[in-house]
Structure 1
Amino acid sequence: MNTQERIQSLFVPRKKLSIPEWCEANLTLSARVTNIPGPYSTQLTPYVKEPLEAFGNDSIRRVTLVWGAQTSKTTTILAGLAYRLAERPCPALWVMPSEQLARSFSETRWLPMVDDCPALAKERPIDTDKIKILEQHFQKMSLWFVGSNSPANLSSRSVSLLMLDEVDKFSDGSSSKEAGALQLAEARVATYPNHLIISTSTPTTADSIIWAEWLKGDMRFYFVPCPHCGHKQKLLWEQVKWDQSAKLSDTEWDFGLVKSSAFYECVECKGQIRDGQKTKMLRDGEWVVTNPKGEPNRRSYHLNGLYAPWVTFGSLAVKWLQDKNGILGLQDFVNRILAEPWLEHETERVEIKPGAYKMGEIRMGEFPVMSCDIQEAGGFHAWAIIRAWDNEGKSRLVWAGRLETWGDIQAKAEEFSVKAAAVFCDSGDQTRDVYLNCCKNGWIALVGSDKSSFSEIVGNAKVQRPYARIANGDPFSGKQTMSKAGWKWKLCPVWRWSNPAIKDILANFLKTEGWVAEDTPSVYFEHINAEAKVRVKNPLTGRERMVWKQVGKNNHLMDAECMNIVGAALHGKLKVTAADLNAEEIVE
């Protein structure tokens, strides 16, 4: 090349990169933020390209992602936000179910990504105090992370880019006069005509927020070609098959054989599609609009967990069987893997079938758990349950009834050899008194919550549990402190637990024979039948949902049963989260 050609080459316009191409050229994911570190790539997940392009398309106002587990949903939004920071800066707001989760996400996922990518790191301001965990002012862009449980933070700023993460777990405003978190957040973009709202979540029920958002859009599915006949189809769970000889009984399976024999059957030619063929299918796939009459400027994308390139059909089959036969049922699989809503029904009173045993006996190898619903009305008393749990999550009712004093609780625990750390007391009533006695005796305080679950980031993943992280309660908060000599603890361990989630688990347990003894007192059944799941409408939003409601006078033993389940879970005797889904890298 001569001198003239070199000079001319300097003025040749550079090829404009698409947003996916820009992300691949500029983003690096370290081991701090992903299980697959290295340069960002869409090679294994080509389905993310079209949603990514929305971050630069001024004709799109809303994008809804209803995606299953391990499909790179969150990483895709992170990549889009990174592009905006470097190339199209604008005020942005990322909303998560709680401030704790938003703080953890910003600190462990977003900020490490900024540090690891030169194209983002150069946007940091000279004044380092401008970058905080929840509020970040880059050179040309401001970004906030907030929890949906903070109406003040949601309504305090205007933004052009709004990201709503896990909207089905947002506060709906039903407990206050404030509007729901979704309505408050969406109002923040009103002053920006070219705004973009990204909504994501795994759905919960058919009347959930994300499912309603999905139905309003153009409802796009990712169609992939069969490697045998070329027929393009969306992946459906009912097409996953495995060797039926792996079935050992009605509830037992040879999971090794299930996993190794599983395949996907083409709906057209019935050909067997194996895991190693999925990667090429994804590369040749395309998004197809199925609702052309959806609201204009609104796109909605549905992608279930079958598309995840690092999850095998066998792993999914094993999880489905484990969930199907587990006490939690298939809701987690339907919601989190299939990315579909769970169809709930109002509860019917079931016949509780007693087992062939009587109360009062702790057998060898069983672990007794005692739970007490503390009451103040009519004078102090407690309704208590003692269950004997084995290591397989099964239990027997060994005592149920009313106790009149704290000393009675201690005596009953000693009678059945219940360890101090296996005595659980409700702290929703007479909180300080409960904390005081828990500190003195080494017991654990519990408090119920109306939240459907509690979120936290474990490693690089968001985890949903029916109980929160442990907290501490001070029995002398605001009071003169007494001597704590000889106490088990100075502060009382306190666990919050989800009323709706644990009651759903209890409802499943009540259907199993042997949950109660032959001589269970009649008052137990009176309390258990004092609550039912019914359909109610939120007066502020008009949305209907299924909730547990008290329909009888006393439900204290039901609450005690719920706390017993929580106690068994905390001691590792019962698994109250769905079966794990193991990711495995697929090779071509």
Structure 2
Amino acid sequence: MVKRLSDKSFERTSDLFKRIAKQALMPPPKLTVSEWADEHRRLSSEASAESGRWRTSRAEYQREIMDAINDPYVEDIVIMASAQVGKSEIILNGLGYYIHYDPSPILLIQPTEAKAKDFSKERVAPMIRDSPALSERVGGFRSKDSSNTILFKSFPGGFIALGGANAPAGLAARPIRIVLADEIDRFPVSAGEEGDPLDLAEKRTTAFYNRKKIKVSTPTIKGASRIEMEFNLSSKEYYNLPCPRCGEYQPLKWEQIDFETECHRCEHCGYLSDEFDWKNQKGKWVATAESKMRGFHLNELLSPFRRWGEIIADFKKAKRKGTEALKVFKNTSLGETWEEEGTALDEETFVRRQEVYEAEVPDGVKILTAAVDTQDDRFEIEVVGWGLDKESWGIQYHVIHGDLHTPGPWQQLDEFLSKRFEKADGRKFAIACTLIDSGGHFTQEVYKFTKPRLNRGIYAIKGESSQMSDYTPLIAGYSKPKPIEAVLVKIGVNEGKVSVLSALQVDKVGPNYCHFPKGKGYSAQYFRTLTAERLETVFVGGLPKQRWKQIRARNEGFDLRVYNTAALEILNPNLEKEYPADRTAVRKRRRRRR
């Protein structure tokens, strides 16, 4: 027997179904990206120092940047930023919004395909897994959906494809509505032979009237920085905070930081207020140019994750290390481009500053390295002493002439590399590591020479050249080429040249400064070869590109200093200790095959 509902119960049930139907048919409430993140984003423990619910209020300056991403009147967004300000989180929140709330075909580009895979595994996958709004939509997290791979993830209404700027196939494969381009200053000038990777990606968006292009990067060299060029075309917005004393709005600037008090000086009233007082103020973004593109600049002074005292300490450390470290500080802490003050070196400068050493090995030297350049009719050799903070002393520049097809020059080379060099107090130093160039016409002979002398730290080397936009570490790997199977060290030539150029530009005795003796083979001709290359900016297809230009026929001095720098990197010594001849063994970096 079926029991009939009373009129009152029927009315209540009817109202309930009406409310359910109304809610089902109603569009979801309009959310901005920041509101979406506050409601739906969950931070993963392996990808964040603070796991749990996302809070935009933790770094309030991020709010307007995120909300610009889903602003229907904004197509292009540019973020030129330092490290430690949450720019990757802004990208991830935009990604999450378009997966869950406004499903679309999305392309996320990293500088290389390898970095795209890392970003997918280390940042994207944990976000999807730990945010229920995403994991229930993206295939593979709640089912055995095989459409979910490291570089491609599908969801109802769209997909996310991750790719490298160096892989043209991934940039031109399918129509895209949302392009997220991360670290664009590390992008190559061309994706294979297809052209500029950013142009390739942007062409994929032409089918969508509501397309979005978000470009993010830490800047690099002035005049060659992609993100700076994009930022200069934008609204150029800076986050302004009111002075805790006078209330005048202004961006936090490095030049206004007082090192002694660790406070920021107001550019209007001059009052020094501490970090807490400044960061506790309610800020606003202020545009300094008119443009449909919105551009935002961020530096570490705004970051809730960095204390001003730490940033000041980093600057002082970079100043001690020299030009290259200062460049990194300006890029990654201040979010500003580095302006090269001239990358051509004058040989006369080094001739004038030659010194008379008190002994064969000056007192500041802790360890010796050597480098050998192999020419058709000679060996050119430089021995370098290294001290605290990579201060260096040229010890001897030596040339061995002869027919390298005969054993004579090789015997002389062996004798020279076995020499002991003496300090004023009589302590003797042996060469701890020697690198010999295996290029040219004597590759097999170099292998035969170095293999039995490996226990003396004598290695064959080969330069690994690449575009300046592609990073190759100074020690790029080890191999054992057949048939001789001598250890071959692969050298990142560009990285070595930049390091040497930076050191040669240091003009104050101390960290990274290069000393040169009078005599000992350091002639005017040597200094011409030391200064035979310069770093210049050229334009390829309208885009700036840095490259090395050899301005003299011979460059042995420059090459040998690069090899000596690599030898020090292999040794990885503690330069607070000395390594005289009776104990030259030092901890070498672990070899890795490539």
TM-score of the superposed pair, with normalisation by structure 2: 0.79
Q: Counterparts of 1:355-434 in structure 2 under 5 Å?
A: 355-357=355-357, 361=361, 366-375=366-375, 378=376, 381-403=378-400, 404=404, 409-416=413-420, 422-426=433-437, 429=440, 433=444
Unaligned segments of structure 1, at least 5 residues = 244-260, 456-465, 576-588
What amino acid is the match of 1:537?
V
Check 1:172–1:435 CA distance in 2 against 1; reply closer, same or farther (3 A cut). Answer: farther
Deviations 1:96-120 (A, max 9, x none): 2222222222222222222222222
Q: Distance in 2 between matches of 1:574 and 1:79?
A: 43
Structure 1 residue 227: deviation in Å? 1.8
Query: Measured at CA, do residues 426 and 453 of structure 1 come closer, stay the same or move farther in structure 2, by a change above 3 Å?
Result: farther
Write the distance in 2 (CA, Å) between the matches of 1:469 and 1:43: 43
Aligned 8 A contact 1:509 1:515 in 2:
no
TM-aligned CA deviation for residue 48 of structure 1 = 1.1
Report SS of the residue matched to 1:310. Answer: coil
- Change beyond 3 A, Cα 1:280–1:9: farther
Q: 1:530 aligns with which of 529, 532, 553?
A: 532
- The structural deviation recorded for 1:229 is 2.1
Q: How many residues align structurally? A: 525
Q: CA deviation at 1:348?
A: 4.6
Higher CA-based Rg: 2
Name the residue aligned to 1:552.
Answer: 552
**2:491 is the alignment partner of 1:475:** no
Residue in structure 1 matching 2:51, options 37, 53, 65 = 37
2:186 counterpart residue number: 169
Q: Distance in 2 between matches of 1:83 and 1:423?
A: 55
d(CA) in 1 for partners of 2:469, 2:189: 14
Whether 1:571 and 2:587 are equivalent positions in the alignment is: no
- Residue by residue over 1:372-396, the C-alpha shift from the partner in whole angstroms, topping out at 9 and shown as x without a partner, is 3344xx36x5433221212432222
Task: Tell me whether 1:23 sits opposite 2:23 in the alignment.
Answer: no
Equivalence for 1:507:
504
Determine the structure 1 residue equivalent to 2:274: 274
Mapped contact 1:502–1:566 kept (Cα < 8 A):
no
- Specify the alignment match of 1:223 in structure 2: 240
Query: 1:288 deviation in Å?
Result: 1.5
8 Å CA contact retained: 1:424, 1:564: yes
| 1:494 equivalent in structure 2 | 490
Matching of residue 80 in structure 1 with residue 94 in structure 2: yes
Q: Pick closer, same or farther for the CA change 1:232–1:182 going to 2, 3 Å.
A: same
Alpha-carbon separation, structure 1, partners of 2:178 and 2:436: 45
1:313 lines up with 2:329 in the alignment = no
Give the conservation status (yes or no) of the 8 Å contact 1:438–1:445. no
Give the Å deviation of 1:223. 1.0
Offset, 1:161: 1.4
Contact 1:64–1:213, Cα closer than 8 Å, also in 2: yes
Contact persistence 1:373–1:557 (CA under 8 A): no
Moved more, 360-369 or 115-124: 360-369
Pair 1:238-2:255 in alignment: yes
Change (3 A) 1:108 1:333: same
**How far, CA to CA, are the matches of 2:398 and 2:355 in structure 1?**
19
Q: Which amino acid is 1:58 matched to?
A: P
Deviations 1:296-347 (A, max 9, x none): 3x11111122111222222222222332343225322222222222222333
Aligned residue for 1:193? 209
- Assess if the C-alpha contact under 8 Å between 2:172 and 2:204 holds in 1: yes
Shift of 1:368: 1.4
Does structure 1 residue 290 correspond to structure 2 residue 294? no
Corresponding position of 1:113: 127
Gaps spanning 5+ residues in structure 2: where?
Answer: 1-8, 421-428, 576-594
User: RMSD of the TM alignment (CA)?
Assistant: 3.2
Q: What displacement does 1:26 show?
A: 1.8
- The structure, 1 or 2, with the larger RCO (C-alpha pairs under 8 Å, 6+ apart) is 1
Residues 119-130 of structure 1: matches in 2 within 5 Å? Answer: 119-122=133-136, 123-125=138-140, 126-130=143-147
Q: Retained in 2: the 8 A contact 1:97–1:165? A: yes
2:94 and 2:182 map into 1 onto residues whose CA distance is: 14
Q: Deviation at 1:271?
A: 2.2
Give the Å deviation of 1:402: 3.6
Letter in 1 for 2:538: K
- TM-score by structure 1 length? 0.80
Contact 1:168 1:202 in 2 (8 A): yes
Q: Does 1:328 align with 2:323?
A: yes
Cα deviation 1:150-184 (Å, max 9, x = unaligned): 3343333332211211111211139x754223323
Which amino acid letter does the alignment assign opposite residue 393 of structure 2?
Answer: R
